[in-house]
Amino acid sequence: MLTADIKPDLSDCLFSDLDFSNGAVAAVSGGSDSTALLLLLKDYLDRTASTARLLAVTVDHGLRPGSAAEARLVARFCVERGIAHRILAWSGDKPASGLPAAAREARYNLLAAAADAAGIKLILTGHTADDQAETVLMRQARDDDGRGVAGMAPATLHDWRTWIVRPLLGTRRAALRDMLRRRDIGWIEDPTNVDVRFERPRVRAALAQGEGEQRIAGALARAARAAVEREDFGHRAALLIGAFASMPVPGLVRLDRGFAAHEDSQAAIYALRILLATVGGVSFPADEARCAALFSRLRSAPLRATLSRTVIDARRTGIFLRRERRDLPVAAPPVDNRLWDNRRRITLKDGPGDLVIAPLGPAAARRAALSEDIPPSLSRAALAAEPSLWAGGECLDFAGGNAGPQSVSIVPAVAPFQRFLPSFDIEPAAAVAALVGAPPLPAPPFHGHDGGGGWAKA
């Protein structure tokens, strides 16, 4: 339900479900939405959790001459109210195309870095119901496959460790501005918000005319329905992954033959899309149409195909998925907190020394211990594409996880959800993480979550 007006107890409605025991980072640009978020959050914490840490962070993208001065205005605003504040700059070259997406990625990376440095695992942003409607309409215009029409999730896990929460998604911008005016508080108007060279300002301008309010209401209703459908879809896919998928050797996923014959073909196709992306190290689920065509062919073995950098080998004994050997990373020293092939998270316990990380390769794979239940050719092909630690031409350890006594650990990652995991997709992400041995999801930032994928807020 949309909040038509700002009431004194709105902050309770917005924040009472959130766990602030570890503190919070508030993303504050100085615009009306983020300024209102900061003030409402400060009011709430002062009343209910006065010892909770609050850090406001302003990202200066450096895209306009006045951006640095605006960031300093936000800093002064925070100092006057006793709020800790940091300014972080997006440095380096800016892309000639895709600038909004690149700026968004940089902003979240900087916010997450600030939260991590402060030991905080919760970031709050000021996205409103108006932003949500714009997002849905933009995705509809791109003929979205349905998942994206759910819009922005109430919470998103960034980099598998930091929660980004959007508490204002049910609140209209006009109501927030009314509240600021009553408090005699101004805000910064970003000229890029009306720059029609970019898609969002064009949509925003269109919604300010004619039947804009009806279009906003329709988009928000569509998003609410799509969110419920997406969560249900994910729940069904997670059940199928748990029931039919196993990993007999590192890098090799086996699906029981019954998977292809399951009556819930829609959920099975979605599960297959996620599994293909995870095995192949691809950041988005496999193409829906191509995956649906593949799924229909899986009903009759044998079959060998490639999709999303994953080899699909369907046999009488099962459907096997493994990373294809094409375009694997070249040998290089391991780098801390980097993703290898988008499939493994590297962590350095100390300096890498003379170690390099590279695919195990066919020769070393022939010497590896194999599962008796899996054809040797399948096991070796999968292991050959797995990351391994080498020193002086000698293989020290191959992934299946931790490098043991070595100074590097190599832990599985769930590629399509590793960077951004919307709360809509918690259940399938958790199911795949359990399958491949990725770290469990950190606890959601809401009171009363059940710890098993249940989502109190979403």
Region(s) of the chain under CATH 3.40.50.620:
10-209
Nearest Cα residue to 159 out of 231, 110, 218: 110
**Predicted pLDDT of residue 284:** 94
Region 191-210 average pLDDT: 80
| Percent of the chain residues past pLDDT 70, beyond the cut | 92
Q: How confident is the model at residue 352 (pLDDT cuts 50, 70, 90)?
A: low
Strand 54-60 to 84-89 pairing: parallel
Place of tokens 């997006």: 90
**For residue 163, pLDDT beyond 90:** yes
Model confidence pLDDT, tens digit, residues 361-376: 998 888 877 777 888 9
- Distance separating alpha carbons of residues 78 and 85, to the nearest angstrom: 6
pLDDT at 143 over 80: no
Q: What is the pLDDT of residue 62?
A: 84
Q: Which of 100-114, 145-159, 284-298, 391-405 has the lowest mean pLDDT?
A: 391-405
Q: What is the mean pLDDT of residues 319-348?
A: 93
pLDDT digits (tens, 9 = 90+) for 278-313: 999 999 999 999 999 999 999 887 899 999 999 999
* Mean pLDDT computed over 126-140: 94
Give the span between the Cα atoms of 447 and 445, in whole angstroms: 7
Mean pLDDT of the chain: 89
CATH architecture group of domain 10-209: 3-Layer(aba) Sandwich (3.40)
**Residue carrying the six token digits 């020293």:** 333
- SS3 (DSSP) at 246: strand
Give the rounded distance of the alpha carbon of 63 from its chain centre. 25
pLDDT over threshold 60, residue 5:
no
DSSP code for 306: E
Which pLDDT tens digit goes with each residue over 72-123? 999 999 999 999 999 999 988 888 888 888 989 999 999 999 999 999 999 9
Q: Where are the alpha helices (DSSP H) in 208-287?
A: 212-244, 265-280
Please state the φ and ψ torsions of residue 347, each to the nearest 5 degrees. -130, 125
Please indicate, yes or no, whether the overall pTM of this predicted structure exceeds 0.85. Answer: yes
Contacts 24+ apart (CB under 8 A), 388-395: 388/357, 388/358, 388/359, 388/360, 388/361, 388/364, 389/334, 389/355, 389/356, 389/357, 390/331, 390/355, 390/356, 390/357, 390/358, 391/353, 391/354, 391/355, 391/356, 392/354, 395/360, 395/364
| Cβ(400)–Cβ(250) below 8 Å | yes
The span from the CA of 297 to the CA of 294, in Å, is: 5
Do residues 55 and 120 touch, judged by C-beta distance below 8 A?
yes
More confident position, 299 or 440? 440
In contact, 26 and 41? CB cutoff 8 Å: yes
- Tally of CB atoms within 10 A around 327: 9
Beta strands in 287-374 (DSSP E): 303-307, 310-315, 318-323, 339-340, 344-348, 356-359
Residue type (1 letter), 90: W
Query: What are residue 55's DSSP bridge partners?
Result: 25, 84
Mean pLDDT of 174-181: 96
Nearest CA to 167 out of 152, 189, 180 is that of: 152
d(CA 18, CA 445): 6
